[in-house]
């Protein structure tokens, strides 16, 4: 048996650290040996939850199945894993610091190997030890709040000149930098949902708030405020507020993410207001299908992303994963969502309501009379 023991101190409350590591699907964000990790059982993470983890060993992919076998909330958790010619037990302990803002994480791995790996333990253990050191450092970066540093000379040049920007995104720059795409907590991160009273928007408000985001709902319907707060919106703003500063190339960074259901200048300004590295999902055009006032500045200065959506050509296996999430971790508050049923003959009236900004909730079209 190979035993690996590591520890790291992070600047994060113990409850946050425990909650993050409880979901083994997050291990791909900090464990350099993990290519992909996913929960394979429905519902919230709890004892007996199962995960599938794709590891990369010596250039070869190995799939392990894990089960959460024991947990003491806020203090420890234990997992049992089984893969080809190997089994693993992982125990993670969380110790609060003196002032409750630091946590010491103790990680223990017991790995039983068979076959050829059993005869190569003397070679495997140093490799595992090195990977363990790197994993703890990546875990610290994943858990600690993002640092916002004052730009130095290089950063100033990078934002203003073509050559430094090209170097940073070349093999000599970006690709050789340490991975900074690790997880910040969703908790408290601010996302805006435009067209929040529509079918997509209202579902997005419910899902995102359940996942821990602080959701800002954008709507022009004064009578829908209480309903949106009931879905989980932390704040509500009018459509006009999202149109301010349309003439500017970039705006003050406000949003960690955007779910846009309307398009047009509202989407343009949402892109300008994304925080560094943030993403906007574009899934509507009720305001306009055009982005006439858009520029490349948010993309080349803040590295933001504009994401498209599709439900027609999307592979069935991806749809199955999405439906599984919607039935478990992403399950919206179905009892609070609004919907109505219409016939095909009534659709023109619905379209008129949408264009007038008066439609609320989801509309289900009854195909057969």
Extents of the domains making up the chain: 2-143, 152-181, 190-355
Please determine, for residue 153, whether its predicted confidence score (pLDDT) is greater than 50: no
Tokens of 152: 């130095």
* Digit-coded pLDDT (tens) for 116-132: 555 566 666 787 788 88
Output Rg (C-alpha) for the chain, integer angstroms.
24
Q: Can you give the chain as a three-state secondary structure string?
A: CEEEEEEEEECCCHHHHHHHHHCHHHHHHCCCCEEEEEECCCCCCCCCCEEEEEEEECCEEEEEEEEEEEEECCCEEEEEEEECCEEEEEEEEEEECCCCCCEEEEEEEEEEECCHHHHCHHHHHHHHHHHHHHHHHHHHHHHCCCCCCCCCHHHHHHHHCHHHHHHHCCCCCHHHCCCCCCCCCCCCCEEEEECCCEHHHHHHHHHHHHCCCEEEEECCCHHHHHHHHHHCCCEEECHHHHHCCCCCCCCCCCEEEEEECCEHHHHHHHHHCEEEEEEEEECCCCCECCCCCCCCHHHHHHCCEEEECCCCCCCHHHHHHHHHHHCCCCCCCCCCCCEEEEEHHHHHHHHHHHHCCCCCEEEEEECCC
Tokens of 273: 């207001």
* Digit-coded pLDDT (tens) for 185-210: 455 578 999 999 999 999 999 998 88
pTM for the structure as a whole:
0.56
Stronger pLDDT, 166 or 106, i.e. the higher one? 106
pLDDT band, residue 145 (cuts 50/70/90): low
Q: What does the alpha-carbon distance between residue 211 and residue 130 come to, in Å, rounded to a whole number? A: 34
Please give the pLDDT value at position 120.
Answer: 60
- Could you tell me the CATH superfamily of domain 190-355? NAD(P)-binding Rossmann-like Domain (3.40.50.720)
In the block, which residue shows the tokens 């992909």? 36
Tokens of 117: 């790996």
Tokens of 251: 């705006």
Please give the pLDDT value at position 93.
Answer: 96
Q: What are phi and psi of 257, to 5 degrees?
A: -160, 165
* Digit-coded pLDDT (tens) for 278-308: 899 999 898 899 999 999 999 999 999 999 9
pLDDT band, residue 154 (cuts 50/70/90): very low
pLDDT band, residue 157 (cuts 50/70/90): very low
**Which class does domain 2-143 fall in?**
alpha beta
Please determine, for residue 264, whether its predicted confidence score (pLDDT) is greater than 80: yes
- Stated length of the chain: 369
Q: What does the alpha-carbon distance between residue 239 and residue 195 come to, in Å, rounded to a whole number? A: 9
Q: What percent of the chain has pLDDT over 90?
A: 40
Q: Of 257, 255, 250, 303, which Cα lies nearest the Cα of 280?
A: 257
263: left (phi over 0), alpha (psi -120 to 50) or beta: left
Q: What does the alpha-carbon distance between residue 216 and residue 254 come to, in Å, rounded to a whole number? A: 11
């Amino acid at each position: 048996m190979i035993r690996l023991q590591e520890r790291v101190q992070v600047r994060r409350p113990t409850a946050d650290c425990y909650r993050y590591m409880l979901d083994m699907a997050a291990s791909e964000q900090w464990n350099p040996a993990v290519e992909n990790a996913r929960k394979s059982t429905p519902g919230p993470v709890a004892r007996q939850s199962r995960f599938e983890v794709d590891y990369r060993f010596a250039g070869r992919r190995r799939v392990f199945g894990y089960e959460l076998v024991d947990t003491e909330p806020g203090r420890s958790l234990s997992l049992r894993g089984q893969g080809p010619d190997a089994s693993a037990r992982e125990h993670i302990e969380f110790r609060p610091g003196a002032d409750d803002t630091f946590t010491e994480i103790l990680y223990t791995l017991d790995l039983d190997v068979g076959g050829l790996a059993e005869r190569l333990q003397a070679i495997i253990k140093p490799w595992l030890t090195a990977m363990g050191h790197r994993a703890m450092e990546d875990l610290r970066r994943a858990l600690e709040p993002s640092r916002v540093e004052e730009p130095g000379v290089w950063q100033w040049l990078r934002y203003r000149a073509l050559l430094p920007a090209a170097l940073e995104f070349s093999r000599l720059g970006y690709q050789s930098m340490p991975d900074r795409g690790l997880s910040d907590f969703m908790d408290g991160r601010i996302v805006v949902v435009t067209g929040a009273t529509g079918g997509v928007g209202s579902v997005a408000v419910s899902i995102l708030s359940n996942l821990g985001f602080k959701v800002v709902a954008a709507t022009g319907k004064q009578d829908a405020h209480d309903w949106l707060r009931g879905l989980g919106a932390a704040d509500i703003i009018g459509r006009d507020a999202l149109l301010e500063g349309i003439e500017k190339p970039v705006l003050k960074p406000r949003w960690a993410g955007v779910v846009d259901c309307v398009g047009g200048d509202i989407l343009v300004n949402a892109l300008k207001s994304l925080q560094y590295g943030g993403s906007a999902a574009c899934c509507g055009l009720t305001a306009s299908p055009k982005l006439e006032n858009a520029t490349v500045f948010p993309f080349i200065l803040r590295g933001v992303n504009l994401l498209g959506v599709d439900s027609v050509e999307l592979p069935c296996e991806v749809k199955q994963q999405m439906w599984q999430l919607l039935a478990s971790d992403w399950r919206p508050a179905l009892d609070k969502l609004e919907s109505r049923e219409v016939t095909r003959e009534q659709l023109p009236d619905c379209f008129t309501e949408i264009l007038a900004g008066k439609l609320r909730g989801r509309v289900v079209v009854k195909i057969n009379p």
